[in-house]
Amino acid sequence: MKLYLVRHGNALNALNRPLSSRGIAEAKLIAKFIKPLHLQVHSIWHSDKARSIQTTEIMALSLKSLQEKIQKNNLAPNNDIETIKNDIDLETKDLMIVGHLPYLSTLASSLLFNKELPTLIPFKELSILCLNHAGKDQWELEWMVEPGLLKN
């Protein structure tokens, strides 16, 4: 099983904080990058925040075999990660989670190192981290990319 962790794009400082034009452009850039990878993602989990929903919609256009987009109430920036970790343990198909900081960094460090270190993995806006499930409670980092690596 592969797990893709994606931080939402740049957002406006407005009510509901939707993606900015830069956030939309960078989301499209990352989506263009992942399209030829033919990711076999079965579902995308996202928070209820506008910036996460918009990022999810853009990512979904580049994924193969996507069956569902699920809004999860426990993916807010400062939520506890244990519920989602338990939900991930029940999954058998590739999954993408679109979320926020420090949540994603805390989740990634917990999966990789069994320690909640919210500053260990620096998720820039629209970073995508690919983890491979290597066995019971074992995850391996496969790759990570962010828009700055793709721009000329």
Q: What is the pLDDT of residues 20-75, one digit of tens each?
A: 999 999 999 999 999 999 999 999 999 999 999 999 999 999 998 889 999 999 99
Place of tokens 């939520």: 79
Q: What is the pLDDT of residues 118-140, one digit of tens each?
A: 889 989 999 999 999 998 889 99
Domains, in order of start, for the chain? 2-150 (3.40.50.1240)
For residues 84-113, one letter each, b for 16 or more C-beta atoms within 10 angstroms of the residue's C-beta and e for the rest, the string is beeebeeeeebbbbbbbbbbbbbbbbbbbe
